[in-house]
Amino acid sequence: MSEERSLSDLSDDEWRDRLSEEEYNILRERGTEPKFSGDLLENTEDGTYACAGCGAPLFASDTKFDSKSGWPSFYDAIEDAVVFETDTRHGMTRTEVSCARCDGHLGHVFEDGPDPTGERYCINSVALAFDPED
């Protein structure tokens, strides 16, 4: 069985065993970490940001920028790494971003980012693992 298939079959209890409480809250329950609290917010190293739930590569470090929003921000995702869904929670309509491999909630994407895409992927630091370049 492939890793992708096995991840889609994990029960809530298996996800709880695999993730920390904070990771579970964000990735599986669509939570949000407090502004300016994430470990990767200030990271400027070269490398790849991956899903903390399954390890799938999501964002290249050269697409990260300081949006001053309080969460790591990227202007583009790795091709086919994320999926989108309309999120109408909290009295607003936003576009939710999830990992394409494990469906873990990452954050939201907005249309107020820099060139070349004009997008701002506002991503929870807890939802990410950083893999530095060698």
From residue 8, alpha-carbon distances to 34, 59, 97 in Å are 28, 21, 17
- How many Å apart are CA 127 and CA 134, to the nearest integer? 22
Residue spans of the domains in the chain: they are 3-132
Task: Residue 106: name the closest of 65, 60, 59, 45 by CA.
Answer: 59
Query: Any idea which residues carry the catalytic annotation?
Result: 122
Pairing assessment for the beta strands 120-123 and 128-132 based on DSSP bridges? unpaired
What string of DSSP letters covers 25-68?
HHHTT---PPTT--TTTT---SEEEEETTT--EEEEGGGEE--S
Residue 47 contacts residue 66 (beta carbons within 8 Å): no
Is residue 1's pLDDT more than 60?
no
The string of pLDDT tens digits covering residues 13-68 is 999 999 999 999 999 999 999 999 999 999 999 999 999 999 999 999 999 999 99
Question: Which pLDDT value is given to residue 9?
Answer: 81
Question: Which pLDDT value is given to residue 7?
Answer: 80
pTM, 2 dp: 0.92
CATH superfamily membership of 3-132: Peptide methionine sulfoxide reductase. (2.170.150.20)
The string of pLDDT tens digits covering residues 87-123 is 888 888 999 999 999 999 999 999 999 999 999 999 9
Q: Rounded mean pLDDT of 62-82?
A: 97
Is residue 70's pLDDT more than 50?
yes
Is residue 133's pLDDT more than 80?
yes
Question: Which pLDDT value is given to residue 122?
Answer: 98
Pairing assessment for the beta strands 64-65 and 128-132 based on DSSP bridges? unpaired
Residue 47, strand partner residues: 132
User: For residue 25, which amino acid is it?
Assistant: N
